[in-house]
Structure 1
Amino acid sequence: MGKLNDLAAQGQAVWLDFVDRKFLADGGLQKLVDEDGLTGVTSNPSIFEKAMGHGDAYDAALAEFDQANPGASTMARYEHLAIQDIQTAADTLRPVYDKLDAKDGYVSLEVSPYLANDTDATIAEAAKLWAAVDRPNLMIKIPGTMAGVPAIAATIDAGINVNVTLLFAVEAYKAVAMAYVAGLEKRAARGEPIDRIASVASFFVSRIDGKIDDKITEFKKRSADEADALDALRGKVAIANAKVAYAWYEDFAKSDRWQALAAKGAMPQRLLWASTSTKDPSYPDTLYVDTLIGKDTVNTIPPKTMDAFRDHGTPAETLTKDVDAARHVLSEAERLGLDLGGVTDMLVVEGVASFGKSFDDLLGAIAAKHPATA
């Protein structure tokens, strides 16, 4: 038992924010499951771009697919490769899924980032990927954009597990939580089972501090009188934002509306902390793991941060500590004009654009390996 295993005792699941064919083939994922108690895996266009766009690990599979499917589009070729990796990861985690009775053991695959603002296309893509992967421990990643919210409800209603991504604002998180509930309620009203449908809400943290800290530096140049107050917020706003989101989750879990679903076997939509690597080298490298440990949560951790926590992390319940102080941090950020709302809105737009750029690069790399007709 190590520090990562100890997180389970606090009610927090550890997921890996990484997938790669060589890593899977070499038993890297199985090792983390066996030794660190890992219970999930996430992917996104940026991760797949790094995996598929560099090196030769996918070349043989791509050549085989091209031979069997002459003239296949670049998108079809990408999906073939991605689905193979996701199926392999899902099969590795299937014993975890079975042991935990569908409460964990999930692998996530993202809908195309090109569809982030198209509700109907997102719903159709989620159904297509769900059928193609054909594993009960798959989660389809849908962005928590305005168009994504009704797509989340419809996808849950269809009995498909959902990982909601690109959440930065507490209000945006509340909207997707209600979408999850609405989807479950529709199924329950038809008399369909809801006890094995899972969802997580991926709440991003470190990117918020990156933007806010830049504003703090800028504002200090213009307002020497508030320099100390501004400095006191450095590296704290993202964690405070996450703690307030979790406090709302705890309150909602006690509501009559949720309790009615729980009585029918509904599983809570766990908050998942994403973007948990430390971007500022002056901060502890386990900052966004140490400070966000709590019941019914997930931390999806990149390999380097996972290594750091295994070595010197602190596995103690922290998420419900100092919530009043967290609210004070957010009120100070508002008083000082740091505009957290504007920052979180911007981060959603940038996140969609970033994943779109990674997808562009990924498809370009695949097309370059073997010319395709589309």
Structure 2
Amino acid sequence: MASNPLNRAHDLGQSIWLDYIRRDMLRNGTLRSLIQNDSLTGMTSNPKIFDKAITGSEDYTNDLEALAADGLSPQEIYEEIAVSDVQDAADQFRHVYDKTRGADGYVSLEVSPELARDTEGTISEARRLWKKVKRPNVFIKVPGTAEGIPAIRQLISEGININVTLLFGLPRYREVAEAYIEGIRERISQGKTVSQIASVASFFLSRIDVLVDPTIEQLMKEDSNKRKQAEQTHGQVAVSSARVAYQMYKAMFENDDFRSLAERGVRPQKLLWASTSTKNPSFSDVKYVDALIAPETINTMPMETLEAYRDHGDPEVRIENNLDGARDILEGLGELGVDIDQATSQLVAEGIEKFKKPFSDLLGSIKERTSSSERPAQESGAQARQAHR
């Protein structure tokens, strides 16, 4: 079989994941084809993705009716559906997980976005979802908020795989990596095994450029003194942040302290590049993939970006190209009127809202679609779920 750019990126050490899930692709062979032909090795989901899947198709009608007949609330119905789909996907990736000895082959399931600022609520729901999904190759997604940091540390110490989501800023990324290591050390202090624990830190990219570029574009047009610097910075803040994050990753997970943990079987917390679809049509549609190929990292792409990369991606390890230039871009943002710490804080808040609204809309849609549904007595909702699984 001819090798395509996705295969070649995988051969360079980049894990290719899909930021999408829908029941029809789990059942009609689409996911199996992506795994076999395009080197797909994992999948991420979030409430917005499930909102589109459930409200945008008839794939879930029978389950919605069956679960409603069981008397489940809209949130409980959503959870049953999401857990079932994640289980199915995880089972299809299980051979990847086994072949790589747990280094790859994961599917992610997110805690409710309503809990993004609630440490104890996040811990409780993550525990419950982890127990319910019952698959070793699943990540529970926890937002990288200030309240999420202690939750990450606690959940890792309990042996729960965590995908830290909604990371935009470099200082917060460092906190997340440290929370992972602290959780591992706590687990070791309890005499528990650590070799089966996995975690990723999901660094969101394109939204950074979407937020800061308008300020930079204004300077390009109106300030002749700063025009050259602005032109060099335009569209480069996200990639520069990712390049510096990768250097931070290497510093934290390739030092002597971590090597002592690695000897016990501890895995590094991998960097995952998220929000990799290009929002500015003047940029390449594979901008946030080509620039960030690197060994032991992950890029999770929506279907359109994955298909674009299959068609015209140009994989090469470029993440350490022009590191000095990347640092200069970040250090010079203040001169251009961009407070990057304030910007990334804003992006976290906006990201939470971007998930909360579709989640609320989804629950409302489920309530509307199930409010008048009835299930024949001979097939209860519990029977329907059991038949599906």
Question: TM-score normalized by structure 2?
Answer: 0.93
- Secondary structure of 2:226's counterpart equals helix
Provide the residue aligned with 1:6 in structure 2.
8
* Equivalent residue number for residue 62 of structure 1: 64
List alignment gaps of at least 5 residues for structure 1.
none
Contact residue 215 and residue 337 of structure 2 kept, 8 A: no
In structure 2, the residue matched to 1:45 is 47
* Equivalent position of 2:262 in the other structure: 262
The residue aligned with 1:335 is 335
Aligned residue pairs, count: 371
Paired AA for residue 140 in structure 2? I
- Residue 237 of structure 1: CA displacement? 0.7
Encode CA deviations 1:141-198: one digit per residue, 9 max, x unaligned.
Answer: 0000000000001111111100000000011100000111011111111221111110
Counterpart position of 2:145: 145
Deviation at 1:223, TM superposition (A): 2.9
Task: Spell out, residue by residue over 1:222-246, the C-alpha distance to the aligned partner (whole angstroms, 9 max, x if none).
Answer: 5343123212211111100110010
Separation in 2, partners of 1:124, 1:146: 17
Q: Secondary structure at the match of 1:279?
A: coil
Residue 18, structure 1, aligned to residue 20, structure 2 = yes
Deviation at residue 255 of structure 1 after TM alignment: 2.2
Instruction: Give, as a single letter, the amino acid of the residue that structure 2 aligns with 1:339.
Output: D
Give the 5 Å matches for 1:1-374: 1-67=3-69, 69-70=70-71, 72-220=72-220, 223-371=223-371
Instruction: Give % identity.
Output: 45
Cα distance in 2, alignment partners of residues 253 and 115 from structure 1 = 29
Moved more, 23-32 or 349-358: 23-32
Letter in 2 for 1:87: Q
How many Å separate the matches in 2 of 1:167 and 1:76? 28
After TM superposition, the structure 1 stretch with the greater mean CA deviation from structure 2, 210-219 or 112-121, is 210-219
Output one character per residue of 1:300-319: Cα deviation in whole Å (capped at 9) or x when no partner: 01111111111111111011
| Cα contact 2:162–2:199 (8 A) shared by 1 | yes
* In 2: Cα distance, 1:37 partner to 1:228 partner: 41
Give the counterpart letter for 1:310 in structure 2: R
Give the conservation status (yes or no) of the 8 Å contact 2:217–2:234.
no
Question: Which letter maps to 1:84?
Answer: S
- Per the alignment, in what secondary structure is the counterpart of residue 265 of structure 2? coil
Distance 1:341 1:65 in 2: 44
The answer on whether the counterparts of 2:206 and 2:277 sit within 8 Å (CA) in structure 1 is yes
In the alignment, the residues of structure 1 paired with residue 286 and residue 186 of structure 2 have an alpha-carbon distance, to the nearest angstrom, of 40
Shift of 1:218: 3.4
Contact 2:293 2:315 in 1 (8 A): yes
Q: Supply the AA of the counterpart residue of 1:65.
A: L
Alpha-carbon displacement from aligned partner over 1:10-58 (angstroms, at most 9, x marks no partner)? 2110000000011111111111111111110000011011001122110
| Structure 2 residue matching 1:257: 3-state secondary structure | helix
Equivalent pair of 2:216/2:336 in contact (CA under 8 Å): no
CA distance in 2, matches of 1:219, 1:282: 18
- Report if aligned partners of 2:274, 2:300 keep a CA contact under 8 Å in 1: yes
For structure 2, the 5+ residue unaligned runs are 373-389
State the one-letter code of the partner of 2:61.
D
Moved more, 223-232 or 19-28: 223-232
Deviations 1:193-229 (A, max 9, x none): 1111100000001000111111112344653431232
| Aligned AA (2:310) | R
In structure 2, what is the Cα distance between the partners aligned to 1:103 and 1:254?
17
Q: Cα distance, 1:259 vs. partner?
A: 1.4
- Offset of 1:265 from its aligned partner? 0.6
Distance 2:283 2:205 in 1: 14
What amino acid is the match of 2:343? V
- Which residue identity does 1:276 align to in structure 2? T
SS in 2 for 1:164: strand
CA-to-partner distance for each residue in 1:241-272, whole Å, 9 max, x for gaps?
11001011111123232112111011110000
1:232 aligned counterpart, secondary structure: helix
Q: Give TM-score scaled by structure 1 length.
A: 0.97
User: What does the per-residue CA deviation read over 1:286-329, in whole Å, with 9 as the maximum and x for residues that have no partner?
Assistant: 10000001111000011111111111111110111111111111
Letter in 1 for 2:252: F
Q: One-letter code of the match for 2:285?
A: D
Offset, 1:9: 2.2
Check conservation: 2:90, 2:107, Cα contact below 8 A.
yes
